[in-house]
């Protein structure tokens, strides 16, 4: 199972806890994880990436294995530690605003 952590507002919107677990078929990529997340929690559709362009929203970042992988291609394989569930895929909201 793939582990995904969510920022506070998306947890509330999805009605779930900080971490969710998803079944994702190989290859495990950013796109595959977000597709699975949106399929499991349809209320999150459009909140992480634009529903039309599928571009990641500017104030959302993806972290894994202590690296910022936001700018990796969406179809690039995620680290094996994420694919086998040892590490979580982190969806992070930018620390900005008032």
Partner 1 sequence: MTAVRVLVGTQKGGFVLTSDGSRKEWQVSGPHFGGWEIYHMVGSPADPDRLFASQSSSWFGQVVQRSDDGGRSWQPVGNEFTYEGTPGPHQWYDGTPHPWEFARVWHFEPSPTDPDVVFAGAEDAAIFKSTDGGASWVELPGLRTHATAPNWQPGAGGMCVHTILVDPTDPERMHVAISAAGVFRSEDGGTTWRPANRGLKSEGIPDSEAEVGHCVHRIARHPERSETLFMQKHWDVMRSDDGGDSWREISGDLPSDFGFPIGVHAHEPDTVYVVPIKSDSEHYPPEGKLRVYRSRTGGEDWEPLTKGLPQADCYVNVLRDAMAIDTMDPCGVYFGTTGGQVYGSADAGDSWQPIVRDLPRVLSVEVQALA
Contact residues toward partner 1 (CB under 8 A) are: 7-10, 13, 43, 45-48, 50-52, 57, 59-60, 93-94, 97
Work out how close the CB of 44 gets to partner 1 at its nearest, in angstroms, rounded to a whole number.
Answer: 9
Which residue from 82, 66, 70, 59 is spatially nearest to 1, judged by alpha carbons? 82
At closest approach, how far in Å is the CB of 21 from partner 1? 21
Minimum CB separation of residue 93 from partner 1 in Å reads 5
Measured from the CB atom, the residue of 49 and 82 that comes closer to partner 1 is 49
CA distance 46 to 92: 15
**Are the CB atoms for 72 and 41 separated by under 8 Å?**
no
Burial class (CB within 10 angstroms; exposed 0-12, middle 13-18, buried 19+) of 1:
exposed
42 versus 85: smaller Cβ distance to partner 1 = 42
């Amino acid at each position: 199972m793939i582990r995904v952590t969510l920022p506070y507002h998306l947890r509330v919107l999805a009605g779930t806890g900080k971490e969710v677990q998803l079944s994702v078929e190989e290859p495990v990529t950013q796109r595959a994880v977000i597709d699975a997340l949106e399929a499991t929690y349809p209320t999150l559709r459009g909140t992480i990436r634009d529903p039309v362009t599928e571009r990641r929203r500017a104030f959302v970042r993806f972290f894994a294995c202590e690296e910022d992988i936001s700018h990796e291609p969406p179809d690039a394989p995620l680290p094996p530690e994420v694919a086998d569930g040892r590490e979580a895929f982190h969806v992070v909201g930018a620390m900005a605003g008032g």
